[in-house]
Amino acid sequence: MRVAVFVMGTRGDAQPAAILGAELARRGHEVVLGLPEDLAHFGLSMGVETASIGVGAHDFMGSEEVRAWLASGDLGKLMMGFSRYKRQQATRIADAMAEISDGADLIVSGVTIEDEAACIAEWRGVPMASLHHTPMRANGAFPFFLASTRRFPRAVNHFMYHAVQSAGWRVLAADVNRLRARLGLRPTRVPTPRRLARAGATELQAYSRFLVPELAAWGPRRPLVGFLTLSAEQRKLLGEHQLDPAVDQWLDDGEPPAYFGFGSMPVQDPSRVLDLISTVARRLGLRALVSAGWSDIPTGISADQRVRVVGNLDHDTVLPRCRIAVHHGGAGTTAASVGAGLPTVVCSVIGDQPFWGAQLERLGIGATLRFPEMSERTLVRAAEPLLDREPRERAARLAAQLRSEDAAGCAADFLEKAQRS
C-alpha cells in the first residue's frame, strides 16, 4: 500500500512519524512523510520519501511571543495562537497535503493536523489512522489531559472529554468547513473525533501500557503499541551516535550526573536556568549534564567542572550513565529517561507534559511541577527523594518492560489491518 503520514509540530512529533514510516517502508510499502520543512531530515535520513507540510517547526515555536507564552505557562494564549497560525497558513498546508496524499491507500496523522488529515482522507476516499502520544479520547481512567492531572470519578472523566471536544469544535468548525468547501466536500457539524469514531478509524496510542496500565485493554481501535523510539541504526543515520570524546571523558571522570534537558521547548532566560541548574546540582551533591535542545544555552563546561552543556546527544548512550533526569516531560523524552531506568523530574510546559509528569509520580518513579514554578527549592524538593534506592529500582524494572515492546512493528501491524478492513 501507499501510506501518507502527516505531522505538524516539533521533533517529538516528527521523529516517531519517521520511525513508523521507516518500518512500513522496510515491509515493502510505499511511504511519504509530510513533515515541517525544517524537520524533514528525520525522514530523509532514514531513507523515507519526505516532503514539506508547507510550514516549518520553528516558524511558530521560535517566535518571541510564543516563547513568552511558554515561559508563563499561558496555555490558552498558546492554543489560540496556534489556531491563528494554522488559519494563516491554511492554503499552504492544504495544498501540500493534497499533493503528498496523491495515490495514498491510507493516511496517518498526528494530533495537531488531525482535522485537516481527516478531510483529506475523506476527499481521497481512503481510511485514516491517528497517531496519539497521550490519551486523547474519552475514558474513565483519566480526565482530559489539558484540563487536569487529577483523577475524578469515571463518569466525570468521561464527561470532561465531551465538554472539551464541544468547546474545541466551536473554535475549529469554521476552519474545517472552509477546507471541506475547498475540497468540494459538504459542510459538517460533527467534530473530527466523532467522525473518526463513526468510520472506525484506528487511533494508535504511541506509548507504553506499562506506563499507562489503566488503558492497557482499551480495545483494538486504540491499541497501546509502545513508544516509537530510535534504533541504534537510526541514531547512526541521524548522526547522533557518536558521543563527543570530551563529554565521554567527563562522564568517566566522576559520579553519574543529573541529566537536564528541555528538548524543543525554548528557554526564555538561558543564563538564569543554567545558574539554577548549577545551584541545584550542588545542593544535591551531583554533577549536571545539560542538553541545550532548542534553547540558546551556550555549550561548554563550568569553571568547577560540575556542569557540562552539550547539544544533541544519543540518549541511549548517555542516560544510562546518569543518576536522575530532569526534563520537560514530552512523550519521547519521558520514554528515553524511563527507558534508561532513571527516576525523572518533569518540569512541564505544555501539552501532554503534565500528564506524563503526573503518571510518573503515580508510578513512584518521578515527581512533577510546572516549568514556571521551577526554583531551587522546588527542584531540590522534587529530586531528593528520587535519589533513594527504591525509585531507582522501580525505574529499572519499568525500563526492562519497555525494552520488551516492539512499538514500530506493532503499529505497522495495526495499520496494515486498518487498510485491509
Instruction: Look at residue 265 in the predicted model and tell me its pLDDT.
Output: 62
Assigned domain for 336 exists: yes
Residues 151 and 248 in one domain: no
Assigned domain for 238 exists: no
Residues 357 and 416 in one domain: no
What is the rounded CA–CA span in Å between residue 184 and residue 166?
25
Instruction: Look at residue 106 in the predicted model and tell me its pLDDT.
Output: 97
Residues 46 and 142 in one domain: yes
Pairing of the two strands 202-205 and 258-261: unpaired
What is the rounded CA–CA span in Å between residue 329 and residue 163?
26
Residues 46 and 137 in one domain: yes
Instruction: Look at residue 349 in the predicted model and tell me its pLDDT.
Output: 83
Residues 25 and 159 in one domain: yes
Assigned domain for 234 exists: no
Residues 50 and 184 in one domain: yes
Instruction: Look at residue 72 in the predicted model and tell me its pLDDT.
Output: 63
Q: Do 267 and 238 touch, CB atoms closer than 8 A? A: no
pLDDT in tens, the chain (421 residues): 999 999 998 888 999 999 999 999 999 999 999 999 999 999 999 999 999 999 988 777 766 777 666 666 666 777 788 888 888 889 999 999 999 999 999 999 999 999 999 999 999 999 999 999 999 999 999 999 888 888 899 999 999 999 999 988 998 999 999 999 999 999 999 999 999 999 999 999 999 999 999 999 998 999 999 999 999 899 999 988 888 899 999 999 999 999 998 765 666 677 788 889 999 999 999 999 998 766 667 778 887 889 999 877 788 889 999 999 999 999 999 999 999 999 999 999 888 999 999 999 999 999 999 988 889 999 999 999 999 999 999 999 999 999 999 999 999 999 999 877 6
What is the rounded CA–CA span in Å between residue 16 and residue 9?
12
Residues 263 and 364 in one domain: yes
Residues 254 and 212 in one domain: no
Residues 220 and 250 in one domain: no
- The helix or strand, by DSSP H or E, that contains position 205, with its residue range, turns out to be strand 202-205
Q: Is the Cα torsion angle 315, 381, 288, 69 positive or negative in sign?
A: positive
Instruction: Look at residue 379 in the predicted model and tell me its pLDDT.
Output: 96
Instruction: Look at residue 263 in the predicted model and tell me its pLDDT.
Output: 65
What is the rounded CA–CA span in Å between residue 80 and residue 76?
6
What's the full length of the chain, in residues? Answer: 421
User: For residue 310, how many other CB atoms are within 10 A of its CB?
Assistant: 20
Residues 373 and 414 in one domain: no
What is the rounded CA–CA span in Å between residue 394 and residue 63?
40
User: For residue 292, how many other CB atoms are within 10 A of its CB?
Assistant: 20
- Using alpha carbons, list the distances in angstroms from residue 352 to 136, 329, 358, 389: 10, 8, 10, 28
Q: Could you identify the residue written with the cell 524494572?
A: 397
Assigned domain for 232 exists: no
Assigned domain for 48 exists: yes
The secondary structure of residue 233, as a DSSP letter, is H
> Domain limits at 285?
243-403
Pairing of the two strands 307-310 and 288-291: parallel
Assigned domain for 263 exists: yes
Q: Do 239 and 345 touch, CB atoms closer than 8 A? A: no
Backbone angles phi, psi at 36, to 5 degrees: -55, 140
Residues 208 and 80 in one domain: yes
Please spell the DSSP secondary structure of 107-173, one letter per residue.
Answer: EEEEGGGHHHHHHHHHHHT--EEEEESS--S--SSS--TTT-SS---HHHHHHHHHHHHHHHHHHHH
3 state SS of 370: strand
Domains in the chain: how many in total? 2
Residues 416 and 366 in one domain: no
Assigned domain for 118 exists: yes
Instruction: Look at residue 69 in the predicted model and tell me its pLDDT.
Output: 66
Output the domain CATH number for residue 293: 3.40.50.2000
Assigned domain for 349 exists: yes
